[in-house]
Amino acid sequence: MSDMIALGNAGAAIRKANDEGRAALVAYLPAGYPTYDGGVDALKALVDGGADVIEIGLPYSDPVMDGVTVQRATEKARANGLRTKDVLRTVEAVAATGIPTLVMTYWNPIERYGAHAFARDLAAAGGAGLITPDLIPDEDAEWNAAADKENLDKVYLVSPSSTDKRIALTTQACRGFVYATAVMGVTGAREVTSELAPVLVARTKATTDLPVGVGLGVSNADQAAQIASYADAVIVGSAFVKVLEAGAGPAGVRSLTESLAEGVRREPRTTAAR
């Protein structure tokens, strides 16, 4: 696999940011929250605020790895009647901005939709790829083939509990970037970032040349700056959902994005940070 193929669309955007001397900002919101149109507007506000890569959550009925903030948002989206086809329409609207746009989803909805059909429709919508928190490379033969056919990014997760062997297996299967979960447990903004994150990033980088993004827990510019000093990308999700939950709307989302974008630019990076 060539370097450019392995980087994919999202990885190329992250490397572009790194070449500018900074970490990239990867921003997440679920589709359809607080409404379908409101969700699209909020996601576009992430772009306007300076996010380099967008993650769109596909609401699911059993989000066991999500914290309560994201769970409430996805439950509302589902209650409003959001379906997978609506998520794909959301992807199309956001990808039209030119920013790499991935879907983050549990595997069950993709299995029901059909892996090859979803890959086809995601690519047709302009999507960059898929982040699959509950799918491990050992079990991804169907998605691997479907994603390769459509040249989609395949982003898998590593965590502090991952063995070195598991990290190596995971990074070898990735295309785009590697998602390092900085803390153990479910998603959610936290007051402090995990002390395990720098060690996990170093262990992951020892196995791959792909960018490594750190997620789970980032809620402000200071935390973003801290993580940007050692990670290629800073991933933020629950903090944006909280802004919408508080009623601040797309304007509030854009304001937080701008603050976080300043955070990832605060400390100059060198190529050695890779």
Question: Which residues have a catalytic role annotated?
Answer: 55, 66
221-224: long-range contacts (C-beta < 8 A, 24 or more apart)?
221/259, 221/260, 221/262, 221/263, 221/266, 222/263, 223/192, 223/193, 223/263, 224/23, 224/25, 224/260, 224/263, 224/264
Contact (Cβ atoms closer than 8 angstroms) between residue 183 and residue 190: yes
Strand, helix or coil for residue 48: helix
Round to whole Å and give the CA distance between 183 and 2: 32
Sorted by sequence, the CB contacts under 8 Å of residue 181 that are 6+ apart come out as 157, 158, 159, 160, 215, 216
**Amino acid in the structure at residue 208:** T
Contacts of 67 by beta carbon, 8 Å cutoff, 6+ apart: 186, 187, 188, 238
pLDDT value for 194:
60
- pLDDT computed for residue 4 by the predictor: 55
What is the mean pLDDT, run by run of 10 residues, along the chain of 274 residues?
71 97 97 98 98 97 78 94 97 98 96 97 98 90 95 96 96 97 53 73 97 91 94 96 97 98 84 49
What is the predicted pLDDT for the residue at 140?
Answer: 82
- Within 13 Å, how many C-alpha atoms sit on residue 183's CB side? 20
Which pLDDT belongs to residue 271? 47
Token digits for 104?
Answer: 């983050």
* C-beta separation of 9 from 129 below 8 A: yes
